[in-house]
């Protein structure tokens, strides 16, 4: 099984001290930084864009290898995922995780696309992300059935296949919401079919909910309020890791 990866979501960090918050969480034991990008359109909230990512990037050492410590895991809760791939690559994103729902409902022409409908096809988007040297993730919201992913994950062309699936365990948009255990069967189904793939869960993860998520087979754990709201974030990070490794 893939290793446990703990990815604190800086959505719950102090935005006035963001650089320091990023370097602190890495020294406290975090593997990745989960960077939530919201456009006020795909989700009913806004955060920040590539210029902020550019400014925080030097506060965290670049990963030595793919998926290594210091990976910037950019969770793109935006309506036009194709449009921002280049900007985020330049800003220092390592893993560009777009939403399936946004991809199939957007139409911009930023990538060399083989599709004639003009719709963004997940596989073309994934290939484009890979061409720019990043890992590609695909995220699904609670209302999206996991079955939509099989065709994408079973693509025989390696460069068109995602490196990670993100199963949302809350409706995307805000930190501090309650964990939706109803989403865990998606994680189990994914783990059964893809024993070695990175499977990320995001939303409501804490000491109380981690065991269920880990049992279902998640190995990449996002936690915002649980880490940044803790008196001792290092202890929370270590407890999450222990639960996944158990």
User: Residue positions in the annotated binding site for substrate?
Assistant: 9, 75, 173-176, 204, 224-225
Q: Does 7 bind ligand DX5 (CB under 6 A)?
A: no
Which of the residues 44 through 73 are near Zn ion (CB under 5 A)? none
Residue 154's alpha-carbon distances to 100, 121, 158, 186, in angstroms, are 15, 15, 9, 16
Rg of the chain over all Cα atoms, to the nearest angstrom: 17
Q: Which residues pair with 39 in a beta bridge?
A: 46
- Give the angle subtended at the CA of 210 by the CAs of 208 and 212, to the nearest 5°: 100
Please select the residue that binds ligand DX5; options are 4, 223, 236, 243, rule is CB under 6 A: 223
Q: Does 176 bind ligand DX5 (CB under 6 A)?
A: yes
Q: What is the dihedral of CA 158, 160, 135, 245, to 10 degrees?
A: -60
DSSP 187: H
Please select the residue that binds Zn ion; options are 57, 75, 186, 241, rule is CB under 5 A: 75
Q: Among 108-116, 140-148, 209-217, 222-230, which window interacts with ligand DX5 (CB under 6 A)?
A: 222-230
**Residue 238 contacts by C-beta under 8 Å, 6 or more apart in sequence?**
29
Q: Does 225 bind ligand DX5 (CB under 6 A)?
A: yes
For residue 36, indicate whether it is catalytic: yes
By CB atoms closer than 10 A (0-12, 13-18, 19+), residue 64 is: exposed
Quick one: three-class SS letters along 205-232? Answer: CCCCCHHHHHHHCCCEEEECHHHHCCCC
Q: Among 117-125, 157-165, 221-229, 233-241, which window interacts with ligand DX5 (CB under 6 A)?
A: 221-229
Q: Does 205 bind ligand DX5 (CB under 6 A)?
A: yes
CA pair distance 25, 176, nearest whole angstrom: 18
Per the residue annotation, which of 31, 73, 163, 202 is the catalytic one?
202
Q: Does 70 bind ligand DX5 (CB under 6 A)?
A: no
Distance of alpha carbon 239 from its chain centroid, rounded? 20
Please select the residue that binds ligand DX5; options are 29, 81, 122, 203, rule is CB under 6 A: 203
For residue 94, indicate whether it is catalytic: no
Q: Among 57-65, 194-202, 210-218, 231-239, which window interacts with Zn ion (CB under 5 A)?
A: 194-202
Q: Does 137 bind ligand DX5 (CB under 6 A)?
A: no
Nearer to Zn ion, 101 or 202 (CB): 202
Q: Does 36 bind Zn ion (CB under 5 A)?
A: yes
Q: Which residues are catalytic?
A: 36, 202
Binding residues vs ligand DX5 (CB under 6 A):
9, 11-12, 34, 36, 75, 170, 172-177, 202-205, 222-226
């Amino acid at each position: 099984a893939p290793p446990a990866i703990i990815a604190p979501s800086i959505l719950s960090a102090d935005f006035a001290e963001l650089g320091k918050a990023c370097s602190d969480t890495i020294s406290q034991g975090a593997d990745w930084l989960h960077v939530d990008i919201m456009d006020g359109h795909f989700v009913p909230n806004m955060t920040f864009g590539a210029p902020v990512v550019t400014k925080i990037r030097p506060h965290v050492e670049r990963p030595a290898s793919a998926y290594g410590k210091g990976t910037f895991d950019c969770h793109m809760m935006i309506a036009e995922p194709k449009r921002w791939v280049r900007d985020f690559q330049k800003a220092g994103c390592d893993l560009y995780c777009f939403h399936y729902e946004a991809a199939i409902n957007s139409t911009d022409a930023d990538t060399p696309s083989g599709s004639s409908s003009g719709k963004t096809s997940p596989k073309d988007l994934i290939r484009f992300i890979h061409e720019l040297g990043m890992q590609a993730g695909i995220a699904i919201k609670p209302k999206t059935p996991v079955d939509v992913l099989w065709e994408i994950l079973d693509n025989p062309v390696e460069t068109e296949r995602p490196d990670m699936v993100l199963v949302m365990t809350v409706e995307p948009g805000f930190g501090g919401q309650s964990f939706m255990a109803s989403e865990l069967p998606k994680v189990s189904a994914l783990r059964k079919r893809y024993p070695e793939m990175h499977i990320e869960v995001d939303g409501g993860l804490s000491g109380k909910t981690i065991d269920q998520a880990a049992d279902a087979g998640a190995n990449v754990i996002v936690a915002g309020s649980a880490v940044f709201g803790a008196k001792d974030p290092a202890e929370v990070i270590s407890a999450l890791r222990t639960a996944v490794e158990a």
